[in-house]
Amino acid sequence: MLMTNPRIVLHIDLDAFYASVEEREHPEFKGRPVIVGADPKNGQGRGVVATANYIAREFGIRSAMPISKAWRLCPEGIYVRPDFLLYAKASHDIMLIIRKYSGKFEQVGIDEAFLDVTDKINDYEEADNLAGKIKKEILNTEKVSCSIGVGPNKLIAKLASDYKKPYGTTVVKPEDIKRFLNPLPVRKLIGIGPKTEAVLKEMKIETVDQLGKADVKTL
């Protein structure tokens, strides 16, 4: 009987991508909160935050936040209008790097991609090493960092890539799936937005473990 390797999928997620590209283009931004989005106009601007670097996030700034609120939280930040042509070029160059590691490549948006490396490596230890190699090449070549999740399917890999940011690697083997998933907030699951999260919270369901134990008919 032929033995087959367990499926191994990587999800590569570029860290605070727009802000990272701006920092790459403007070294003077390094070490300062950078917010990409609408013009704040000294707190009177309309529009939202597209993304913010991790220093800005320490002030509580998040994507889709009104730009006026971001200004109130961090008036000393650097506010940059988006340059989508610049980001598209950076994304294209980075995706060329990623896709060479496997013929099974799927880009998801401008800053994410999946790789199925099942036929390229033998086990999850090799997958961890490969993730490190990809991260280093992207950082050294394009001066942008990424986080990588490794798992037996796309869902687990995507959740894992968000687990340690920035520039983190999280490996979830098949036997570790429940231990990894159970403590996570249900909001982390793809398809559960704020409205569904609120409904589940009323049902006393706040973690993946609680969701898994809930009565299907009740759900």
Residues taking part in catalysis = 112
Which strands, in side-by-side order, build the sheet including 49-52? 49-52, 34-37, 78-80
Radius of gyration of the chain (CA): 19
Please confirm whether the linkage preceding 166 is cis (ω < 30° from 0).
Answer: yes
CA atoms within 13 A on the CB side of 139: 15
Q: Which two tokens stand for residue 52?
A: 């913010």
Residue 76 φ/ψ region, left for φ over 0, alpha for ψ in the -120 to 50 degree band, beta for the rest: alpha
Q: Which two tokens stand for residue 209?
A: 């473990």
In whole angstroms, what is the distance from residue 211 CA to residue 187 CA? 11
In whole angstroms, what is the distance from residue 108 CA to residue 89 CA? 16
Whole-angstrom distance between the N-terminal and C-terminal Cα of the chain?
Answer: 41
